[in-house]
Amino acid sequence: MTDTFRKVYKPLSEDNQRHIKDIKELAEAMEYLMNNFKSREMSLAMTNLEQCTMWATKAIVLEDERNNA
Domain map of the chain by residue range? 14-67
pLDDT score of 2: 66
Q: In this predicted structure, what is the pLDDT of residue 61?
A: 92
Global pTM exceeds 0.85: no
Cα 5 to its chain centre, rounded Å, is: 16
Mean pLDDT of 52-61: 95
Q: What is the pLDDT of residue 67?
A: 85
Q: What is the per-residue pLDDT for 69?
A: 64
3-state secondary structure the chain: CCCCCCCCCCCCCHHHHHHHHHHHHHHHHHHHHHCCCCCHHHHHHHHHHHHHHHHHHHHHHHHHHHHCC
Who has greater pLDDT, 32 or 7?
32
Average pLDDT, integer, range 23-52? 97
